[in-house]
Amino acid sequence: MVTHDVIIVGAGLAGMRAALEVCGSLDTAIVSKVYPTRSHSGAAQGGVAASLANSSDDSWEIHMYDTVKGSDFLGDQDAIEMMVKDAPEAIIEMEHMGCIFSRTGDGKIAQRYFGGHSRPRACYAADRTGHALLHSLSEQVMRNASKIKIYSEWYILSLIVHDNICKGVVAYDIKNGRLEVLRGKAVIFATGGYGRAFRITSNAFASTGDGIVAAYRAGIPLEDMEFVQFHPTGLYEQGILISEAARGEGGYLINGKGERFMERYAKSMMELAPRDIVSRSEQTEINEGRGIDGKNFIYLDLRHLSREKIMERLPQVRQLGIDFIGIDCIEKPLPIQPTVHYSMGGIPTDRDGQVIINDKGTKVTGFYAAGECSCVSVHGANRLGTNSLLDALVFGRRAGQSVLESAKDFQLHDVNEDTEITSAKTEINTIFNASGNENMNNIRNGLKDIMMSECGIFRNREGLELCLNKIKGLQDRFKKAKITDRSKVFNTDLIESIELRHMLEYSEVIIVSALAREESRGSHARTDFSKRDDVKWLKHTLAYKGDDGEIELKYKPVAITRYQPEERKY
Ligand SMILES: Cc1cc2nc3c(=O)[nH]c(=O)nc-3n(C[C@H](O)[C@H](O)[C@H](O)COP(=O)(O)OP(=O)(O)OC[C@H]3O[C@@H](n4cnc5c(N)ncnc54)[C@H](O)[C@@H]3O)c2cc1C
């Protein structure tokens, strides 16, 4: 059995940031199913938010208000306050670690506008911000190589929690098919998002919600899973992200009639309204026949920005257009459609990243979560762009600090290695031994299509019920699906099947949570309940896995400190 003081699962921004915090005095391990710098954080483009001292008319209070309003008043305001206050320090710290932020003429960190932010507060490294941040952290992790053991391409299958005490994880070494128990005094999950269950998504192949499913199966509820963010500008049919930075720099959205249609939906913020609003507006234009040539897309027009500005500030955006769709945005507008982008829901934590399991704040000893897999909740019903890299940095660090502070109280707990390994083996063997004629790809495609069409930007009872039935059918079919590769070495067939099983499981939680929430708030838009309903629904959903496998829903209140809910206008 492998033993460490702290086991961090995930090597994105949240995981690596947490590791740097604890590695000075605790024996630290990072486990990642992909090579660390291939984590999805590296794909982030547009920026990371902070009200820096050099932006004279910005302040943490304004950043906080923008975030609360952006969240459609579902974000927990105590946590948001903490995040926006920590933000400037988090950025300066990254700068000191070597992150190459873009600069103003007088050498300060440059900042640009982003959706829903009333001030230009996105710090950026051209349009490769996530890449710059992730690699800076990775360099620091390398520098501390003697203190941080990295298990690269190890896949976590389950979380070991008994009597509310977390004891470790069970991992599968992808290189040789070996199962291993990793025992730790504390476990931090930083396993990222779950957007891959949808047909059109900007998410990496690895964003399959493994961490949240492991927690859910271990008895931990999932919070606010119904809130799945669509980003307004994915490349048509590919879903690949064209950063909001393109609109932050002044790009227009144009419909089939040549109109800048955002005028109808958000007169003051136009293209830079929050993502839920812009995505709904685009979809409405498309649904009402005003897509380009009546088709399923509209245009993002950057031509007026000039070649020089595009080459300097948006080089990756330009290259993505050329590589994936054969269009150079300097010369032609880009065909785009909304793409599933971010998971507001996840593992409930307190402001120090410790996992809590109910409305009374009961903690799981030794278990923490940070970054996109967690729900603190700083994003509520809709995240503002650039607040997520910030969330991952701030709460990755806080989770690390909190582990450090509690370390003296931690101990290693006994784990029955045989039982844990046997149960993981059984999980794997059910896939190897399945007999039937079903095909994993067909099941995956079925899932993606139905989630996209019935649990997407617009939802209603009829569609969600259809979706739920279909998913249950897909779960049954999964049991009869065979895989062809039976080897132990780099069996990606097996890994993708396990990921599919996870997607089928959390998709059901998304749908059941969405069916129950009979209102429209942030990214959750019900055509049969089109208004926000603060009387009944100003609360967080907690979805538990019942003993019979059925989902049980409970709720907990929203933390409201400074800003009372008001109508959301832009
Ligand atoms: C294309 C794109 C652009 C974005 N641009 C921005 C932006 O400009 N600004 C912004 O604020 N946000 C942006 N976001 C969102 C932001 O990048 C993410 O929310 C954030 O990076 C998540 O970081 P993380 O550390 O939580 O997880 P990730 O970076 O996703 O890392 C997850 C880690 O968990 C590991 N893992 C997962 N499952 C397992 C398992 N079973 N076993 C072992 N390891 C596992 C993975 O290997 C990986 O290391 C963007 C997102 C996308 C998809």
State pLDDT tens for residues 16-30: 999 999 999 999 999
In 3D, which of 203, 257, 255 has the Cα closest to residue 231? 203
Cα 280 to Cα 242, 259, 459: the distances in Å are 17, 16, 11
Strand 222-223 to 551-557 pairing: unpaired
Residue type, 260: R
Band of residue 212 on the pLDDT scale cut at 50, 70, 90: very high
Helix (H, G, I), strand (E, B) or coil at 266: coil
The average pLDDT across 67-76 equals: 98
pLDDT digits (tens, 9 = 90+) for 403-459: 999 998 999 999 999 999 999 999 999 999 998 999 999 999 999 999 999 999 999
Measured at the CA of 284, the angle between CA 279 and CA 285, to 5 degrees, comes to 100
Q: List CB contacts of 128: < 8 A, sequence separation 6 or more.
A: 45, 316
Cα 153 to Cα 10, 30, 354: the distances in Å are 11, 11, 26
**In contact, 84 and 64? CB cutoff 8 Å:** yes
Q: List CB contacts of 408: < 8 A, sequence separation 6 or more.
A: none
Helix (H, G, I), strand (E, B) or coil at 564: coil
Rounded Cα distance, 348 and 104, in Å? 39
Q: Is the pLDDT of residue 325 over 80?
A: yes
Average pLDDT, the chain: 96
E strands present in 467-558? 481-482, 525-526, 539-545, 551-557
Q: What pLDDT is stored for residue 53 in this prediction?
A: 81
CB-side exposure of 398: number of CA atoms within 13 Å? 26
Q: What is the DSSP letter of 210?
A: H
**In contact, 134 and 16? CB cutoff 8 Å:** yes
**In contact, 321 and 329? CB cutoff 8 Å:** yes
Rounded Cα distance, 514 and 524, in Å? 7
Computed on alpha carbons and rounded to an integer, the radius of gyration of the chain in Å comes to 22
pLDDT digits (tens, 9 = 90+) for 265-300: 999 999 999 999 999 999 999 999 999 998 999 999
Band of residue 55 on the pLDDT scale cut at 50, 70, 90: low
How far apart are the CA of 339 and the centre of ligand 1, in A? 16
Q: Is the pLDDT of residue 519 over 90?
A: yes
Residue 2's beta-bridge partner residues?
Answer: 182
Q: Is 275 a catalytic residue?
A: yes
Band of residue 233 on the pLDDT scale cut at 50, 70, 90: very high
Strand 481-482 to 438-439 pairing: parallel
Helix (H, G, I), strand (E, B) or coil at 334: strand
Q: What tokens appear for 527 in the block? A: 């055509």
How far apart are the CA of 73 and the centre of ligand 1, in A? 24
Ligand 1 within 6 A of CB of 391? no
How far apart are the CA of 393 and the centre of ligand 1, in A? 12
- For atom 33 of ligand 1, which residue has the closest CA? 10
Q: How many CB atoms lie within 10 A of CB 53?
A: 10
Which of 38, 183, 196, 275 is the catalytic position?
Answer: 275
Q: What pLDDT is stored for residue 412 in this prediction?
A: 94
Rounded Cα distance, 298 and 535, in Å? 37
- For atom 37 of ligand 1, which residue has the closest CA? 191
Closest ligand 1 atom to Cα of 388: 11
Closest ligand 1 atom to Cα of 387: 11
Q: How many CB atoms lie within 10 A of CB 460?
A: 16
Measured at the CA of 109, the angle between CA 108 and CA 113, to 5 degrees, comes to 125
Band of residue 235 on the pLDDT scale cut at 50, 70, 90: very high
**In contact, 503 and 209? CB cutoff 8 Å:** yes
Closest ligand 1 atom to Cα of 390: 11
Closest ligand 1 atom to Cα of 389: 11
Ligand 1 within 6 A of CB of 155? yes
**Residue written as token pair 């079903």:** 438
